[in-house]
Amino acid sequence: MSLSDDEFMRYSRHLLMDDIGEEGQQRLKSARVLIVGLGGLGCPVATYLVAAGVGSVDLCDADHVDKTNLQRQVLFREKDCGELKVICAKRQLEALNSGVEINVYAINVNSTILRGNYSLVIDCTDNIKARQFINQHCHTLGIPLVSAAAIGWEGQLVAFDYRQHKQLCFSCIVDQDTNDPVKNCSNSGVLGPILGVMGSMQAATAIRILLGFFQQHGDIHRYDGKRGQWLATKGVADSNCPVCGPNTFRSI
Ligand SMILES: [Zn+2]
């Protein structure tokens, strides 16, 4: 997929980087990414991937913009309250980069959407049921998955390249980690910029996967925003995992 003169100008700061260049930018242009959830994580993820020139970005979220979202969901404006998030986000993102194809689903994620021939799925949802559902489908379909969550001052990111690895998945890690933020986020609050940090990490990880640099399948990255510290640990495969374990029954 070749670049136009306008794209050479627009993406010049990528083209100057040795390990992106014209070939890398063409890879981004030919990619098709699904972002599930347009909250505090989905807003920065979508913004950076659209700005970066990912060719096709699909957005999935059934919710409407609420005033309480504005503290952290940076794609939305006061006048957007009451409107569907995906519609408001599409409008903002198209104004940012009209060269990117943006498709929207104003429904909760389902099997049909996940079967949309994606290069990558980015999980920005805030409930464990949706996260497990997305993981199960990505694992079965062999689609890379970038997942993050945040609560209070803390964030966590984990990514999987299911094209290359079938052992060790999101479900293994969540079951091992009783302190996983997604289990406690309902009424605990979150600092807006923590979501910006984690969403930006998701976007950078997504670009690494699309460019072919990703080597960190299942590594868990935790950010403590109060101390300004990162901690990375290796995830461990669970031999009894219902998704990737040897006794798995797949019904999808
Ligand atoms: Zn697993």
Q: Which of 127, 126, 132 is nearest to 242 (CA)?
A: 132
Q: What is the mean pLDDT of residues 215-228?
A: 96
Residue 248 predicted with pLDDT over 90: no
pLDDT band at 156 (very low <50, low <70, confident <90, very high): very high
CA of 171 to the centre of ligand 1 (A): 5
CA of 198 to the centre of ligand 1 (A): 23
CA of 154 to the centre of ligand 1 (A): 24
Q: From CA 194, how far away is CA 173, in angstroms rounded?
A: 21
pLDDT computed for residue 187 by the predictor = 74
The better pLDDT of the pair 99, 185 is held by 99
Q: From CA 124, how far away is CA 247, in angstroms rounded?
A: 29
The protein residues having their C-beta less than 5 angstroms from ligand 1 (an ion) are: 169, 171-172, 241, 243-244
**Under the phi-then-psi rule, with left for phi > 0, alpha for psi from -120 to 50, and beta for the rest, what region is 228?**
left
Strands 229-234, 219-224: parallel, antiparallel or unpaired by DSSP?
A: antiparallel
Tokens of 184: 């406690």
Q: How many residues appear in the chain?
A: 252
Q: Where exactly are the structural domains of the chain?
A: 31-234
Q: From CA 132, how far away is CA 93, in angstroms rounded?
A: 28
pTM of the model: 0.94
H/E run at residue 135? helix 128-141
Which residue in 169, 185, 241, 244 is the catalytic one? 185
Query: What is the residue-averaged pLDDT of the chain?
Result: 94
Residue 222 predicted with pLDDT over 90: yes
185 is catalytic: yes
The class (CATH top level) of 31-234 is: alpha beta
* Cα 78 to Cα 2, 41, 75, 149, 152, distances in angstroms: 39, 19, 11, 25, 24
Residue 5 predicted with pLDDT over 80: yes
pLDDT computed for residue 38 by the predictor = 98
For residues 236 and 243, the answer to whether their CB atoms sit within 8 Å is no
pLDDT computed for residue 188 by the predictor = 85
